[in-house]
Amino acid sequence: MTKRTIKNIEKSIRSRLFNLAEHQQLSYQMLIIRYAHERLLYRLSRSVYRERFYLKGGVLLYAFDRDNARPTVDIDFSGNRIGNDIAQIKSVFTEICQINDAPDGIRFDMAEIQAAEIKPPPPKEVDLVKR
Please answer whether residues 41 and 77 qualify as being in contact, where contact means their C-beta atoms are separated by less than 8 angstroms: no
Domain annotation covers residue 67: yes
State the Cα–Cα distance between residues 107 and 39, nearest whole angstrom: 10
Q: Tens digit of pLDDT per residue, the chain (131 long)?
A: 567 777 888 999 999 999 999 999 999 999 999 999 999 999 999 999 999 999 999 999 988 898 887 888 889 998 899 888 889 999 999 999 999 988 899 999 988 888 888 777 666 566 565 54
Domain annotation covers residue 121: no
Domain annotation covers residue 69: yes
Give the pLDDT of residue 127.
57
Return the closest-CA partner of residue 58 out of 43, 71, 42, 40. Answer: 71
Q: Which domain holds residue 49?
A: 9-112
